[in-house]
Chains A and B, each alone.
Chain A
Amino acid sequence: SQTIHQWPATLVQPVGSPLSLECTVEGTSNPNLYWYRQAAGRGLQLLFYSVGIGQISSEVPQNLSASRPQDRQFILSSKKLLLSDSGFYLCAWGTGVNQPQHFGDGTRLSIL
């Protein structure tokens, strides 16, 4: 069966520090991969998605970037974190058009 792993579960970082969040999927090949951010008490905002290795699409201009170095690995990065980058970051994978997405357990990011 397919599984998705996200780490770390929680992270506290100072303003201006770099960021790297990693997501890996097991049990499926060539998945579509997604990064979402969820602000406190709010809905999901799609940040990036990828349909293949090295293919990244950005939904919202921001301080973050994403990379997909391997088929089942998706990385969210920042060179310098802002206070507004705080939130709950969720990685998800999907198999195709009109199919559901499946989510990891998320990373709670707090910026001090």
Chain B
Amino acid sequence: AQSVTQLGSHVSVSEGALVLLRCNYSSSVPPYLFWYVQYPNQGLQLLLKYTTGATLVKGINGFEAEFKKSETSFHLTKPSAHMSDAAEYFCAVSVASSASKIIFGSGTRLSIRP
């Protein structure tokens, strides 16, 4: 069975600092992984996805994530935080089934200090 664990329910960084949001996955098959962002009172927006191939995945808004099989990790990073990055971030893994379900992590709230 697949699962994801997000380390840290709340991360706070200064504007301009590196953003690092941690995600570890568990999967008995090659995983398909996603990062989503949720702004207050909005739905989830896909930031990036890892399917197969290149392990460094670039997404929208300057975010990227690196798939590390040896560490079963898929951490999200951004070199320089902006105030507009303040939001909830969810890591997710696809469940290989006909219904195409996705299992979401519990989320990490990112705060940006001026």
Residues of chain A at the chain B interface (Cβ within 8 Å)? 6, 32, 34, 42-44, 46, 49, 51, 57, 88, 90, 92, 94-106, 108
B residues 43-61 near A (Cβ < 8 Å) are 43-46, 49, 51
- How many angstroms from the CA of A101 to the CA of B90 in the assembled complex? 13
In the complex, which residue of chain B has the Cβ closest to the Cβ of A108? B41
Please tell me if B100 contacts chain A, counting CB pairs below 8 Å: yes
A97's contact among B42, B45, B100, by CB below 8 Å, is which? B100
Q: Which of B94-114 contact A (CB under 8 A)?
A: 94, 96-102, 104-107
Determine the residue in chain A with the shortest Cβ distance to B97: A97
Given contacts A103-B43, A103-B44, whether A51 and B104 have CB atoms under 8 Å apart is: no
Q: In chain A, what residue has the closest Cβ to B9?
A: A41
Taking a contact as CB atoms under 8 Å apart, the answer to whether A32 and B42 are in contact is no
Complexed CA–CA distance, A65 and B15 (Å): 44
Task: Find out whether the CB atom of B49 lies under 8 angstroms from the CB atom of A100.
Answer: yes
Given contacts A43-B105, A43-B107, contact A32 B100 (CB under 8 A): yes
User: Could you tell me which residues of chain B, from 7 to 45, have a CB within 8 Å of some CB in chain A?
Assistant: 32, 34, 36, 41-45
Mark B residues whose CB is within 8 Å of A. 32, 34, 36, 41-46, 49, 51, 90, 94, 96-102, 104-107
4 A-B pairs with the lowest CB-CB distances in the bound complex, closest first: A103-B43, A98-B32, A43-B106, A103-B44
Q: Please, how many angstroms separate the alpha-carbon atoms of A46 and B106 in the complex?
A: 13
* Min CB–CB distance A35 → chain B (angstroms): 12
Of the A-B pairs whose beta carbons lie under 8 Å apart in the complex, a sample of 5, sorted by A's number, is: A43-B105, A94-B100, A95-B100, A97-B98, A98-B32
- Whether A100 lies near B90 (C-beta < 8 A) is no
Does A106 lie within 8 Å of B102, measured CB to CB? no
The answer to whether A43 and B100 have CB atoms under 8 Å apart is: no
Residues of A within 8 A of B102 (CB): 94, 100-101
Q: With A51-B98, A103-B45 given, name 15 new contacts (CB 8 A).
A: A43-B105, A44-B44, A49-B101, A88-B41, A90-B43, A94-B100, A97-B100, A98-B32, A98-B96, A100-B34, A102-B46, A104-B43, A105-B42, A106-B41, A106-B43
